[in-house]
Amino acid sequence: MKLTSNIHEGNQTTITEFILLGFGDLPQLHILLFLLFLVIYIATMAENILIIALLVTDQHLHTPMYFFLGNLSCLETCYTSTILPRMLTTLLTGDRSISVMGCIIQFYFFGSLAGTECLLLSVMSYDRYLAICKPLHYAALMNGRLCLQLVVGLWIGGFMSVSIFIFMLSQLTFCGPNEIDHFFCDFHPITKLSCTDTHMVEVAGLISCSIFTLPPFLLTVTSYVCIISNILRIPSSTMRQKAFSTCSSHLIVVTVFYGTLTLVYLLLDSDALRDLNKVFSVFYGILTPLVNPLIYSLRNKEVKKALRKSLLRSFVFFKNSKC
């Protein structure tokens, strides 16, 4: 692989390309991985686009919970598209090079969408808290205007969450080596390759992540503690089961998201565990957008009912068009 570089300040060489090592140098493994990730990408996009279409077209699903769910599906389509298309191209062509700025841009969108998901999951947990713990005031509290304001705010907040330290990251100088032992551009692999002081960038990243992930996480945990406590006080077992079923799917999504996030960035962030880090990064960045629609939406009774109605309308339309 040819290394593109510029001469900078005498004998110092400034790297302009990184090499994403990905999953190694086994061609036969690359073909298998390409087919596997291609199926995953197509399935992820199809599931989430289907959910968005159902939520837009079915009037019965125009409620706050499904409005937030539609934003989650939109986020997942963007989220998986920041990683998989580039990975598929690398596996197919063997070209593992990526420009320094391209790498930073990929991380910007990946980090922004991760921050947006943290905020969105906290808003969704608060929505479930109001629906279960304050049902009589739910319609007044979670009105359409507030839902729109929350969604606009969390998308803006998510993309602002990494802006400062992304700018600082773009100011770093990279002099070699230029190999990133990962399948996408992440914060720590990039900073480790810099030949300038990265202390301020790391501090800015820590502060930003603390501000935009810890409060949403605490809000999510607090909401579910209140929800579970309220459900346990319901005398009827049937009502308890019905109440818990409305939030169990969201609880699974939250657990998977924060569980894999913690494993990747706190417990497995070391050179000795880099291969295990890759495995959990696949769960966190690729498989989670695939399973979220299955867990949260397609097992939901109202969504399944809307899907059946849509399929029936499509069948009738095609049948009449043939006649």
| Residue-level pLDDT at 142 | 92
8: which DSSP letter? Answer: E
Residue pair 118/212 in contact by the 8 Å Cβ criterion: yes
Q: pLDDT class for 319, splitting at 50, 70, 90?
A: low
Per mean pLDDT, which of 14-23, 52-61, 110-119 is the most reliable? Answer: 110-119
CA distance 128 to 135: 10
- What are the pLDDT digits (tens) for 120-152? 999 999 998 998 888 889 989 999 899 999 999
Interatomic CA distance for residues 145 and 66, integer angstroms? 15
Q: What would the two tokens of residue 136 be?
A: 């009589």
Over range 75-89, report the average pLDDT: 92
Domain assignments of the chain as residue spans, ordered by start = 14-316
Beta strands in the chain (DSSP E): 5-8, 12-15, 17-20, 97-99, 179-180
| CATH architecture under which domain 14-316 falls | Up-down Bundle (1.20)
Report the chain's mean pLDDT, rounded to a whole number.
83
The answer to whether residue 11 scores a pLDDT higher than 50 is no
Check: CB of residue 190 under 8 Å from CB of residue 104: yes
Dihedrals φ, ψ of 99, to 5°?
-65, 155
Position 271 pLDDT exceeds 80: no
